[in-house]
């Protein structure tokens, strides 16, 4: 089976403090995958590294067996809702159309095709009647759906979403979940950063349990066990956090140059 | 009108507008101060170029400003990434250092007696009258170039401002977009200081967009409005400084801009202070009217018959200021919600239905508070006093549904539904 994402011995630090230590796993295609762990466990960092927004100290990530740059058009990203200023002067349609921006149409006007695709995306998240509503006037759940519509407009094969269920009402949560299942049925891969254990088992087929280090990755039946959950949510390992603090205060490089474990050149 | 003056006027209008258009993105990015810092930081470059070019070469001036401005911009970035200093500290540090250096260069020039100080001073506060025809042509061309640049990079600038991570993820050339934006900003400031000088440049970058934001919610409209506001101020400022001797242009441009800016904050629809005030008044009035109707309905409920209440009767039950009550009753009468009798006022059928609605909302909300939010029955009244005026028909429908068509409120009073 084709791998959607491959994470190879990944170490990433933030302000020179390691947030991911030697994480290594791969994910299947056509599944809804949850990256699950407590606050500050490196989930968002994981996603940002896969999306090329953060540079690893060591190791590498691949999408569909290739570096991200080769497959960008097949990958879609939904950032955390709070990461943007919703007071920005734009309406819902403006934002969804951003999902159609590409390197090769940056200087061109928005096409009729783009508009049609954006309209379809809005229809799928049930926001068509809000197309010309100001984004500042939307509820949290509606804002989240706008972001998902923008992502749908990218017409990708794999979708990475950062906490799409945070701060949305129950009805929106159901609607998003329904949509994700439809996407899965069409063979798309959906990867979701999620912190809520209660719903994780119900939502995902495949789970990556993360707490700075990798606790477990696999089909949910294998990963969602009491022991593993306790390991992930039982607090960070004292030794690891002490060492992390030390590396940060001493400003010590995380890897010597010859051990960066970059993707071997072919 | 003097044709030379007209050309200067057109030039100033163009350059002020283009600065405002570029400044709109700085404003939306929350980087208003960076523009101010770069404007101040242009001074050393401008002074050096002025000396080298004998004060007559506008191209050299642009080059000097560009180098100085870019240097300042990247210094800010460098300080932020390499030290633990906060953004505002890095910005102030660069602003004061560069500006101090520029002023020092200016006084050195003065001391060495090169005699062009008068020409140099116009870059501090702007002096439209000192602009040569050569300047007008070069800077107008640059202003047009700036607007074309913003038009070309519109999508890139829009996405960079709203969600830069997303721009990077979809593979847009973010470093190129950023560099273009930085160069355009520095150029905009370079042309802008011809009108207002480095000290007041921030106003020309930011005030037009802040004013425009109050009137519109669309980015293209905001860009146009900002350009328009900047043009109006630039024309006014230029005119005043050319008719009154020894008057610098910058301060006048800024004062006109400030008037437009504050005017916008006061008069803009929806977001303006007046509109807010009007909404508050309307809400207050709605509350008083609904309270009177509610009170009359409750009296009918108590006595189980239609009642006629005088002003004093009403004020005995609820503390309402006499003139407020008089106004409210006049209004209710006009809206056919009450009728006046010799001894007071009575509800019409329409008014009764409205009073019933308010009482119903009050009791539904009280029930919701006890049932869903687990509040004690003696704590719920104040909240319901407000909510009865806020709840809309569709929320009422949701409430009734969620509570399962309840008959009684937490105080065992019946919830009055409309009889069919």
> Tens of pLDDT along A65-117?
999 999 999 999 999 999 999 999 999 999 999 999 999 999 999 999 999 99
Residue indicated by tokens 């630090």: A13
Cα–Cα distance for residue pair B125/B255, rounded to 1 Å? 13
Q: Is A185 inside any structural domain?
A: yes
If phi over 0 gives left and psi between -120 and 50 gives alpha, with beta otherwise, what is residue A195?
Answer: alpha
> Does the pLDDT of residue A9 top 90, yes or no?
yes
Contact A89 B170 (CB under 8 A): no
Instruction: Give helix B133-152 / helix B174-196 axis angle, nearest 10°.
Output: 150
- Model confidence band, residue B212 (pLDDT cutoffs 50, 70, 90): very high
Q: Is the pLDDT of residue B289 over 70?
A: yes
pTM of the model: 0.86
* Per-residue pLDDT at A249 exceeds 90: no
- ipTM of the prediction greater than 0.85, yes or no: yes
pLDDT at B131: 79
pLDDT at B167 exceeding the cut of 60: yes
Domain boundaries in chain B? 3-271, 276-420
Task: State how many domains chain A has.
Answer: 1
Residue A138 lies in a domain: no
Q: Give the CA-trace dihedral at B66, B68, B70, B74, to 10 degrees.
A: 180
CA-based torsion, B165, B167, B171, B177: positive or negative:
negative
Asked whether residue A264 carries a pLDDT value surpassing 70, the answer given is no
Contact yes or no for A53 and B169 at CB 8 A: yes
- Predicted confidence band at B118 (pLDDT cuts at 50, 70, 90)? low
Please choose, from the candidates B29, B151, B158, B179, the residue with its C-alpha nearest in 3D space to the C-alpha of residue A101.
Answer: B158
From A83, A103, A136, residue closest to B172, measured CB to CB: A103
How sure is the predictor about B4, in pLDDT bands with cuts at 50, 70 and 90? confident
Look at A86-100, B85-99, B110-124 and tell me which has the smallest mean pLDDT. Answer: B110-124
Domain assignment present for residue A204? The answer is yes
Element (H, E) at B47: helix B32-52
Nearest-CA distance B243 → chain A (Å): 39
Q: Kind of pairing, strands A158-162 and A17-28? A: unpaired
Residue A150 — very low, low, confident or very high, per pLDDT cuts 50/70/90? very high
Q: What is the per-residue burial (b if ≥16 Cβ within 10 Å, else e) of B251-284? A: bbbbbbbeebbeebbeebeeebeeeeeeeeeeee
Q: Does A143 touch chain B (CB under 8 A)?
A: no
CA distances from A44 to A80, A216, B290 (A): 9, 17, 50
Q: Do B163 and A134 count as a contact with CB atoms less than 8 A apart?
A: no
For range B122-136, the mean pLDDT = 81
Where residue A251 sits, what CATH number does that domain have?
Answer: 3.40.50.300
Confidence tier at B152 by pLDDT (50, 70, 90): very high
Which chain A positions have a beta carbon within 8 Å of B398's beta carbon?
Answer: none
Structural tokens at position B150:
């913003």
Show residues of chain B in contact with A95, CB under 8 Å: 162
Lowest mean pLDDT of A178-187, B97-106, B233-242, name the range.
Answer: B233-242
CB count within 10 Å of CB B148 equals: 11
Select the residue of A48, A83, A102 nearest B170 (Cβ to Cβ).
Answer: A102
Tell me whether A89 touches chain B (CB under 8 Å): yes
Cα separation of the two ends of chain B? 76
Name the strand (E) or helix (H) holding A18: strand A17-28
* Stretch among A245-249, B254-258, B361-365, B368-372 having the lowest mean pLDDT: A245-249
Q: Which two tokens stand for residue A11?
A: 């170490």
CB B360 within 8 A of CB B416: yes
pLDDT in tens, A191-235: 999 988 888 889 999 999 999 899 999 998 898 888 888 888 876
Average pLDDT over residues A19-37: 94
CA dist B357 and B389 (Å) reads 10
Fold of the CATH domain B276-420: Arc Repressor Mutant, subunit A (1.10.10)
B131 half-sphere exposure, CB direction, 13 A CA radius: 36
pLDDT of res. A237? 67
The answer to whether the CB atoms of B168 and A106 lie below 8 A apart is no
Distance (Å, rounded) from C-alpha B232 to C-alpha B227? Answer: 9
Q: Is A102 on the interface with B (CB under 8 A)?
A: yes
Instruction: State the average pLDDT over residues B133-146.
Output: 88
What does the DSSP 8-state code read for residue B1? -
A227 to chain B, closest Cα gap in Å: 36
What average pLDDT does the segment B329-342 reach? Answer: 93
> What pLDDT, on the 0 to 100 scale, is given for residue A71?
94
Average the pLDDT over A173-191 and give the result: 94
Q: Is residue A19 assigned to a domain? A: yes
- In angstroms, what is the C-alpha Rg of chain B? 32
Residue B264 has a pLDDT of 95
Asked if the model's pLDDT at residue B1 lies above 90, the reply is no
Q: Which of A125-139, B62-76, B164-178, B190-204 has the lowest mean pLDDT?
A: B190-204
State the pLDDT at residue A204.
94
**Which two structure tokens, joined as six digits, stand for A132?**
């010309």
Please report whether residue A208 resides in a domain: yes
Residues of B in contact with A48 (CB under 8 A): 165
Higher pLDDT pick, A244 / B175 = B175
Judge: A101–B155 Cβ closer than 8 Å, yes or no.
yes
Say if residue B283's pLDDT is above 70: yes
> What is the tens place of the pLDDT at every residue in B254-264?
999 999 999 99
In this predicted structure, what is the pLDDT of residue A117? 97
Which has the minimum average pLDDT: A99-113, A128-142, A227-241, B152-166? A227-241
CA atoms within 13 A on the CB side of B21: 28
CA–CA distance, B193 with B148 (Å, rounded to integer): 20
Rounded distance, CA B221 to CA B226, Å? 8
Written as six digits, the tokens of A173 are 């949560």
Q: Residue B173's closest chain A neighbor by CA?
A: A103
Contact present, A97 and A110 (Cβ < 8 Å):
yes
- Rounded Cα distance, A137 and A202, in Å: 32
Rounded to the nearest integer, the mean pLDDT of chain B is 89
Contact between B5 and B136 (Cβ < 8 Å)? no
From first CA to last CA, the distance across chain A in angstroms is 22
- pLDDT the model gives residue A230: 84
Tell whether A130 is within 8 A of chain B (Cβ): no
Per-residue model confidence (pLDDT) at position A78: 96
B172 burial class (0-12, 13-18, 19+ CB within 10 angstroms)? buried
Q: What is the pLDDT of residue B120?
A: 77
Does A53 touch chain B if contact means CB atoms closer than 8 Å? Answer: yes
Q: Which residue has the tokens 């749908």?
A: A152
Whether A234 contacts A228, CB under 8 Å: no
* Pairwise CB contact (< 8 Å): A98 & B159: yes
Query: In chain A, what is the greatest distance between 2 CA atoms, to the nearest angstrom?
Result: 57
In a domain, A9, yes or no: yes
CA dist B353 to A31, B337, B348, B419, Å?
Answer: 56, 9, 9, 10
Asked if residues B96 and B218 have their Cβ atoms less than 8 Å apart, the reply is no
Q: Is residue A174 part of a domain?
A: yes
Residues B129, B246: Cα–Cα separation, whole Å: 9
Q: Assign a CATH topology to domain B3-271.
A: ABC transporter involved in vitamin B12 uptake, BtuC (1.10.3470)
Quote the mean pLDDT of chain A.
90
Q: Are B293 and B351 in contact (CB under 8 A)?
A: yes
A51 contact residues in B (CB cutoff 8 A): 165, 169
Domain span at residue A227 reads 3-84+157-259
Kindly indicate the confidence band of residue B110, based on its pLDDT and cuts at 50, 70 and 90.
confident
- Does A191 reside within a domain? yes
With beta carbons under 8 A apart, name residues in chain B contacting A73: 171
User: Which pLDDT score, from 0 to 100, does residue B227 have?
Assistant: 96
Q: Is the pLDDT of residue B17 over 70?
A: yes
DSSP B205: H
Strand partners for A209: A36, A216
- Read off the tokens for B178: 């950023």
Q: Is B29 helix (H, G, I), strand (E, B) or coil?
A: coil
Nearest CA in chain A to B222: A89
């Amino acid at each position: 089976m084709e791998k959607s994402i491959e994470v190879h011995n990944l170490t990433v630090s933030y302000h020179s403090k390691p947030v991911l230590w030697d994480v290594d796993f791969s994910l299947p295609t056509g599944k809804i995958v949850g990256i699950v762990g407590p606050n500050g466990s490196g989930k968002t960092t994981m996603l940002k590294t896969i999306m090329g927004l953060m540079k690893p100290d060591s190791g590498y990530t691949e999408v569909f067996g290739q570096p991200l740059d080769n497959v960008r058009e097949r990958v879609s990203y939904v950032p955390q809702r709070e990461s943007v200023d919703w007071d920005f002067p734009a309406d819902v349609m403006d934002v969804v159309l951003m999902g159609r921006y590409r390197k090769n149409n940056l200087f061109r006007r928005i096409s009729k095709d783009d508009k049609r695709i954006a309209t379809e995306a809005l229809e799928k998240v049930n926001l068509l009647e809000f197309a010309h509503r100001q984004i500042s006037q939307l509820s949290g759940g509606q804002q989240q759906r706008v972001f998902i519509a923008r992502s749908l407009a990218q017409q990708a094969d794999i979708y990475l979403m950062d906490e799409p269920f945070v701060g949305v009402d129950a009805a929106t949560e159901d609607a998003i979940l329904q949509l994700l299942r439809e996407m899965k049925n069409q063979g798309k891969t959906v990867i979701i950063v999620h912190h809520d254990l209660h719903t994780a088992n119900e939502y995902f087929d495949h789970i990556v349990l993360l707490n700075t280090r990798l606790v477990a990755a696999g089909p949910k039946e294998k990963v969602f066990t009491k022991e593993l959950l306790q390991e992930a949510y039982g607090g960070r390992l004292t030794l690891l956090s002490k060492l992390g603090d030390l590396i940060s205060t001493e400003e010590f490089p995380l890897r010597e140059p010859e051990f960066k474990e970059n993707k071997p050149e072919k | 009108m003097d044709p030379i003056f007209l050309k200067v006027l057109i030039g100033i209008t163009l350059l002020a507008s283009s600065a405002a258009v570029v400044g709109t993105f700085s404003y939306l990015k929350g980087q208003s101060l960076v523009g101010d810092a770069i404007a101040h930081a242009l001074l050393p470059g401008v002074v050096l170029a002025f000396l080298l070019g004998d004060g007559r070469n506008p191209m050299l001036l642009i080059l000097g400003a560009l180098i100085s401005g870019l240097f300042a911009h990247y210094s800010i970035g460098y300080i932020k990434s390499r030290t633990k200093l906060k953004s505002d500290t890095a910005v102030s540090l660069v602003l004061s250092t560069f500006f101090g250096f520029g002023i020092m260069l200016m006084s050195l020039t003065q001391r060495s007696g090169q005699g062009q100080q008068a020409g140099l001073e116009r870059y501090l506060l702007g002096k439209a009258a000192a602009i040569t025809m050569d300047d007008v042509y070069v800077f107008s061309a640059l202003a047009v170039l700036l607007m074309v640049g913003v038009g070309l990079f519109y999508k890139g600038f829009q996405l960079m401002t709203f969600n830069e991570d997303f721009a990077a993820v979809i593979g847009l050339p973010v470093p190129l977009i950023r560099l273009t934006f930085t160069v355009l900003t520095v150029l905009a400031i370079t042309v802008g200081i011809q009108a207002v000088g480095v000290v007041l440049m921030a106003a020309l970058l930011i005030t037009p967009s802040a004013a425009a934001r109050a009137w519109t919610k669309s980015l293209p409209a905001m860009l146009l409005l900002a350009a328009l506001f900047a043009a109006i101020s630039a024309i006014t400022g230029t005119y005043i400084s050319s008719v009154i001797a020894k008057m610098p242009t910058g301060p006048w441009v800024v004062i006109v801009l400030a008037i437009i800016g504050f005017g916008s904050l006061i008069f803009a629809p929806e977001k303006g202070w007046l509109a807010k005030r009007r909404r508050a008044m309307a809400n207050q009035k709605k509350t008083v009217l609904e309270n009177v109707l509610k009170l009359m309905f409750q009296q009918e409920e108590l006595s189980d018959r239609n009642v006629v209440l005088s002003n004093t009767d009403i004020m005995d039950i609820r503390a309402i200021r006499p003139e407020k009550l008089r106004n409210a009753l006049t209004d209710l009468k006009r809206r056919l919600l009450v009728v006046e009798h010799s001894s007071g006022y009575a509800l019409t059928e329409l008014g009764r239905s409205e009073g019933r609605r308010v009482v119903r909302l009050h009791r539904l909300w009280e029930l919701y508070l006890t049932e869903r939010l687990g509040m004690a029955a003696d704590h719920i009244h104040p909240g319901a006093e407000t909510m009865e005026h806020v709840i809309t028909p569709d929320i009422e429908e949701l409430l009734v549904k969620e509570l399962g068509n309840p008959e009684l409120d937490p105080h065992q009073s019946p919830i009055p539904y409309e009889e069919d």
